[in-house]
Amino acid sequence: MTLEDAIDKIVRRPAQASDRLSPLADFAIEQLEHHGLPGARGGTSGELDIRGLARSKKWDVAYDFAGKPRFLVSLKSIWKNAGGTVPNRIDDLMGETANVQQLSPEIVIGYILLFDAKADSVRREDGLYWSERFQNAVNDIAIRKAPVWNQGLLEGAWFIKFDSRNPCGSRVLNPEKARQEGEVFFESLLHELKLREPAIRFTKTISVPQDRLL
């Protein structure tokens, strides 16, 4: 499955379907296996209840090791009313991340964020598009690596802008940029997982950048 395939499947699903983003979760699971980490769960097999300090929460993709979830991916999407939705998405993201980190501070968390171009508009405050504001805000908190262990931060994010009005097969905007950023997203998360859980047996060599070894 390609990213474009996943987006096309999502667009064809009912807007209120609880499993609307499952094709993207399936794509993420395939990508993790491609990059050397087979055995992740989620996608069309169903969301996963992961225990946090305040409550359990459903996550889209999880990888367990030694009887405990060590790696999580959450999917978020914005289809309309960006001005009202973006602030809530940011708050939700930080809250649910901190909730699970309270019990598992070593866990690696990534977010894949879909933004429909038809929902975009310019902000009065700074002249930025809401998609830019959303991406910048998420990038600001996707910095959780030693020695920055603050709860509510996350290890990685992949922002994908698409246009649901475009024909099937051409909905991802700037597909080459999206592909490259996806590669960095999965590789960097697995680098971090390898650092924290060196006993995991990856099917490919996970080369940890030298600056992460300092």
pLDDT tens, per residue, the chain with 214 residues? 999 999 999 999 998 888 999 999 999 999 999 999 999 999 988 778 898 888 888 999 999 999 999 999 999 999 999 988 998 999 999 999 999 999 999 999 999 999 999 999 999 889 999 999 999 999 999 999 988 999 999 999 999 999 999 999 999 999 999 999 999 999 999 999 999 999 999 999 887 554 443 3
Report pTM. 0.92
Neighbouring C-beta atoms of residue 189, cutoff 10 Å: 24
Query: Quick one: pLDDT at residue 213?
Result: 39
Residue type, 14: P
Q: How many residues does the chain have?
A: 214
Query: Residue 54 sits in which domain range?
Result: 3-212
Please name which of 77, 163, 172, 86 lies closest in space to residue 122, comparing C-alpha atoms.
86
The pLDDT assigned to 208 comes to 56
Residue 48: predicted pLDDT:
83
CA distances, 133 to each of 7, 140, 210 (Å):
22, 11, 31
- Which helix (H) or strand (E) segment holds residue 64: the answer is strand 61-65
Q: What is the predicted pLDDT for the residue at 73?
A: 97
pLDDT number for residue 60: 95
Are 107 and 63 a contacting pair, CB within 8 Å? no
CA distance 3 to 5: 5
pLDDT of res. 25: 97
Indicate the SS3 state at residue 202.
coil
> How many folded domains does the chain comprise?
1
Report d(CA 98, CA 148) in Å as an integer.
14
